[in-house]
Structure 1
Amino acid sequence: MDEPARYRVMVVDDNAFIRAGLTSALEATDDIEVVGEAGDGREAEEMAWRLVPDVVLLDVRMPRVDGVSAAAALSRTSRVIMLTQVEEPEVILSAVRNGAVGYLVHNTFTVDELAEAIRDTVRHRAHPLSHAASAALIDAARTGRPAAPAADPAEQRARFGLSAREVQVMDLIVRGHANHDIAAKLFLTEKTVKNYINRIYAKLGAPNRATAIVTWLGMPPGG
């Protein structure tokens, strides 16, 4: 996949100061352009259809249409990263089910890390989850199913049809490792890891990393 000369981003937050701060910080980079700002989900949906940004940075709690609801429509045109103060597991799960490919919590990342998350998302190299969001997602998946002994790797392989190597990759995904970390740990190239991950997504019926984690850990769809 060819990388764009500039990454086109839309910032959606009902707080004008946050929007201005994000816009200013991102446009200070060499390759990110903020093509639009919106103060609520409905405005964001209308704007996204016109602008078709590469990535939408989307707050959760906003008037008229909230971010979780808007994610469903926005994910049809763009890749959606939730960018919020909200850490409730049920909100994270709902956002992922509605198509968000990343979930970042304010004050847990630097501007440089946010910029790299945008680039990685467009390149399909990673699905950014802050540590708080990843932990909440995993905890929600584990507590959302009946108490039972954790499935061993053989049982998980039988359930989803994954190879032994794919199970290793998936276990590292669940632990929060990025593609380059997985490659280093398993002595693979990043391209090989990406190929494994694409096959894992297909076998789990998961469109992205967060949904794959939920599925792997046994949270029923819509649960």
Structure 2
Amino acid sequence: MDVPRILVVDDNLVVRSGLVSLLESSGFEIAGEAGDGRTALEAAERLRPDLVLLDVQMPLMDGVEAVRTLSTFTRVIMLTYTEDQQVIRRAIEGGAMGYLVHGTFSAEELTAAVRGAISGVHALSPVALTALVGIPARTAPAEPEPPPVPPDRDRFGLSAREAEVMRLIVQGHSNGAIAARLFLAEKTVKNHVNRIYAKLGVTSRASAIASWLGTDGGGAGR
């Protein structure tokens, strides 16, 4: 099986080096690096990577402009600190397979998102889902109340507790925050999350959210 080849594009050398190190240690091949959108286009056309990790705010040409061309011949995940909803919509409309915001995912979730995107699975941070489907974002926990259980949870075979956990995942809560809200051990929450992933047939938080909301193209009848 061919090793996926990734082009890493970020004008911050420290961030770029960290991504390269993480991807290489996770079994990916680094096809190349770039620090601006224009160089990214030239490199991608020459190297033909399987996927481009693309920052948004860069010199010469930003990621939102570059993705329109890149997405015509390779898959692209926007990987950025930018949470502006208009930027997110423009990036996705431009052809990005995913939009991940630094600080909202673990190293394991990032590598799972990269593998998923190469296979055609969209990868979206909660803030990106908020921009695309209008889910109210929660930046701080509300007063504890039992989160409503979606009526369609049975189509995935989730238990009532798993559905509660999934609802909090959609709202952008970490495992630790979910544990605090539901008065559970964080290890117990992690076990619930792993079972949810298995039942939804996904390997990352973003893919689970997309599948749960029906924004992954699977629809309600999957």
Normalized against structure 1, the TM-score is what? 0.63
Paired residue for 2:127? Answer: 132
Alignment correspondent of 2:19:
22
Q: Given residue 109 of structure 1, which amino acid in structure 2 is its aligned partner?
A: F
Alignment check: 8 A CA contact 1:26 1:111 kept: no
Number of aligned residue pairs: 168
Please give the alpha-carbon distance, in whole angstroms, between the structure 2 residues aligned to 1:93 and 1:181: 28
Could you tell me which runs of 5 or more consecutive residues in structure 1 were left unpaired when the two chains were aligned.
141-164, 170-174, 191-196, 202-207, 213-223
Deviations 1:74-130 (A, max 9, x none): 111210000000001100000001000100000111111111111111122x21101
Q: Which residue matches 2:81?
A: 85
The 5-angstrom pairing of residues 43-62 of structure 1 reads: 43-62=39-58
Q: Name the CA distance, whole Å, in 2 between partners of 1:123 and 1:131.
A: 21
> Residues of 2 paired with 1:52 and 1:82: CA distance?
17
**Unaligned residue ranges in structure 2 (runs of 5+):** 136-151, 157-168, 171-194, 203-209, 218-222
Query: How far did residue 5 of structure 1 move?
Result: 2.7
Give yes or no for the alignment of 1:109 onto 2:105: yes
Q: Whole-Å Cα distance in 1 between the matches of residues 80 and 33 of structure 2? A: 15
Letter in 2 for 1:94: R
3-state SS, counterpart of residue 124 of structure 2: coil
Residues 123 and 16 from structure 1, CA distance in 2 versus in 1: closer, same or farther, beyond 3 angstroms? same
Question: Amino acid of the residue matched to residue 24 of structure 2?
Answer: E
1:21 and 1:127 map into 2 onto residues whose CA distance is 23
Q: TM-score normalised to the size of structure 2?
A: 0.63
Q: What is the Cα-based RMSD across aligned positions, in Å?
A: 3.9
